[in-house]
Amino acid sequence: MLMKNVLITGTTSGIGYETAIGLAQQNCHLFLANRSEEKTKELIQHLS
């Protein structure tokens, strides 16, 4: 299966957060663009 590359902004809460989780479950390669580095690190740990 071909892995898709996806850029998502605002992934630390709300729709962006849920979208990141859903796409990670579909084995997409995610690029996350957020204002808060700390919240982004928390999301990455959650996805791992």
Residues paired with 6 in a beta bridge: 30
pTM for this structure? 0.83
The pLDDT score that the predictor gives to residue 36 is 94
Give the pLDDT of the chain (48 residues) as one tens digit per residue: 678 999 999 999 999 999 999 999 999 999 999 999 999 999 999 988
- Determine the Cα–Cα distance for residues 36 and 38; give it in Å rounded to an integer: 5
CB 8 within 8 A of CB 19: yes
